[in-house]
Structure 1
């Protein structure tokens, strides 16, 4: 087929410099040039973002390539295909003719096709007496063959960028998981440090992540998160070393007092005694009462040491600083009174105090309670009781205007020993329709 010369479009379509450049490039194809058309099409699909064409345009190009009889596009053959719009519509699953024309024009503008229009604008072929194609009018696939190496290079770049973006996303996910778990462990174990500042910095970096992130956006955020993780790890290591070197009997005793098993059993026994003493009266759990009425065991221990019990002697100047937070109530009682917090636990359930404290951190952010307010509550009430207060606030969130202000007010009362968590839990049990006798 004769391919010399430049062809201009039929009818009202104007000639553009892009069309002229595509035809000039196609004329420089070496006769021995050859490429598998379907491998080239897969590369086109990969390089589509860089070529600026849509997936619908690619489906039209796929239909045009299917009309070329050979598997390889060869520079020595005529690369013109001449299907009618009706045939193209069938191979594009019934695409409308106006849509076909629009996508064909987009492929020509992108330099992937060139038009070879006949004098009357129809697509047809002239054959010689031996049945060989002498001249064809339609769409030339020669620009595809001429740009095959460029298309493959663009496809490789897109693939590399996609893999890099995938790795960056994975690294961001791992670093985010590390930071959240490290901060949660530090808060749960009561390690000293400005963990709220670390949490605020982490939240600031995470909030900067868009829904559809690019490599340019992810790289600086990943660097900042990795730096934050390194700082947290160093600080945790220092805290662990300090605790190991400064460990003594006092530290071990405090650890026993805050353990989960003793907190639960002790609270349960005190609740049973209180309920037996108030038969016929509405039961209330109050740590204030238990603090004001020391047990006989405590009195005997104080007498053996030659001292009066704490409640019977004048408070010393440093007593207020040494007051321990009240022991937590049984976890089952808390979950019975505050079932709304259960779905916020890990995996949608809560089976331990650690799960409850993790859920409380999530609910705190949801209720717009500042990290400083929650940290102060943990110091005054203890981490378990602070998490219980958050669960109670969640239950009554529809009646509380400012959850953060309400928590700060309860914290101040707790510091003055004017706040007891028991009545709050029992009130929630009553409003939830649970009989008081089942609370123990």
Structure 2
């Protein structure tokens, strides 16, 4: 059994106040105090960062605990183990004896072990006639038992800190994803702002984080990213409100100006006829009505305009001139596959197909909405059909459509030459409208 006397180390090893404090603490163990050695070891592994010990030192401690005969560390069972360095080397899977000695010293310095050296520095045990341990020299595990509650508290603190860091990293990851996608949407929708500078600021914040950041650094980064995300959201909300107000204006205008039951507003917002334009039936541009025949209307659309000497690209109201549906489908047969049931019978079907093609080509809704408001819904659908037909020659369908919209606003764009070029390229083999 242990004598409870303060012992000093053998040989050249000096006595320190830390060793003395560990021995004093080990002498204050309660008589009935006990703890499962393996549960305590697992807790010790969790508290490792705060105790200042390495995983190799823990491997040596694990070997020492394996020499303790009982699962419960208790004063009554004796708390001294006395394996040789050779035995410890075997239990630590071949660790060099010099390394074993170094980690034993680290465990003593950390206050987890107490040396009880024999007069000659060897580790051994003396037994009485009954075979019970009378006196043992080696390493005392008493500090582990005495500090069991402290070790549990340290382990809980480490686990709480680890969980806090994990949540910080998760929130930073979500914030980074939000910022990247919101900025991408802002650039695609042409929202006003210096997005290049904001993106550079975003990259500087992310790349400025060290490989192994502290909790304070993670918290600071999260605050900065949150502020940046809030700024971007505010800019986008302003754009959304502006677009919504403009959409409401278009909606009211459609009720006043356009009574056409075949409006395309159910597919995309804002695809109504321009104010002042005359509404026409879906099949009007593909043929001539009976009343027009009676009054001597020209057989071919556009003939009357040519007789008046008007421009081939714009109508009298200054908007883009529309062309017959049959001519559009003959020049752009690829659009037929995207119509309802693979057939386009009227302008409504063409506009439905254009919405599908717009999504497929990656054209943003705002770009198509702007084109429809400037050119008219039917002309915007015609332009989308032409873009689909020339898809292999256009790098960015959205950018190309926005450019045509701007040119149309200035009166510098006409659909006729585009259709004629496609017709010439296809020769007489174009498909007709179904």
Which TM-score band applies after superposition, normalised by the shorter structure? 0.5 to 0.7
Deviation at 1:44, TM superposition (A): 0.8
SS of equivalent to 2:76 = coil
SS of equivalent to 1:88 = helix
CA pair 125-191 structure 1, distance change in 2 beyond 3 A = same
Between the aligned partners of 1:36 and 1:193, the Cα distance in structure 2 is: 63
What does 1:278-427 align with in structure 2 at a 5 Å threshold?
308=311, 384=396
CA pair 255-184 structure 1, distance change in 2 beyond 3 A = farther
Between the aligned partners of 1:300 and 1:244, the Cα distance in structure 2 is: 41
CA pair 254-198 structure 1, distance change in 2 beyond 3 A = farther
Q: Unaligned stretches of 5+ in structure 2?
A: 254-264, 272-301, 315-358, 364-393, 401-434
**TM-score, length-scaled by structure 1:** 0.58
**TM-score, length-scaled by structure 2:** 0.59
Between the aligned partners of 1:303 and 1:202, the Cα distance in structure 2 is: 58
Larger Rg: 2
RMSD of aligned Cα (Å): 3.4
Query: Which residue pairs with 2:297 in the alignment?
Result: none
SS of equivalent to 1:9 = coil
Q: How many residues matched?
A: 285
Q: Unaligned stretches of 5+ in structure 1?
A: 257-298, 312-350, 356-381, 389-440
Query: Which residue pairs with 1:245 in the alignment?
Result: 245
2:56 equivalent to 1:56: yes
Q: Deviations over 1:168-197 (max 9, x none)?
A: 111111111011111101111222233223
Query: Which residue pairs with 1:18 in the alignment?
Result: 18
Query: Which residue pairs with 2:185 in the alignment?
Result: 185
Contact 2:4/2:27, CA 8 A, preserved across alignment: yes
Query: Which residue pairs with 1:226 in the alignment?
Result: 226
* Off by >4 Å, runs of 4+ in structure 1: 252-256, 299-311, 351-355, 385-388
Query: Which residue pairs with 1:83 in the alignment?
Result: 83
Query: Which residue pairs with 1:145 in the alignment?
Result: 145
SS of equivalent to 1:76 = helix
Contact 1:188/1:354, CA 8 A, preserved across alignment: no
2:133 equivalent to 1:133: yes
Contact 2:70/2:77, CA 8 A, preserved across alignment: no
What does 1:155-194 align with in structure 2 at a 5 Å threshold?
155-194=155-194
Query: Which residue pairs with 1:42 in the alignment?
Result: 42
CA pair 36-254 structure 1, distance change in 2 beyond 3 A = closer
SS of equivalent to 1:95 = coil
SS of equivalent to 2:182 = helix
SS of equivalent to 1:246 = helix
CA pair 307-17 structure 1, distance change in 2 beyond 3 A = farther
Q: Deviations over 1:290-332 (max 9, x none)?
A: xxxxxxxxx9899699765789xxxxxxxxxxxxxxxxxxxxx
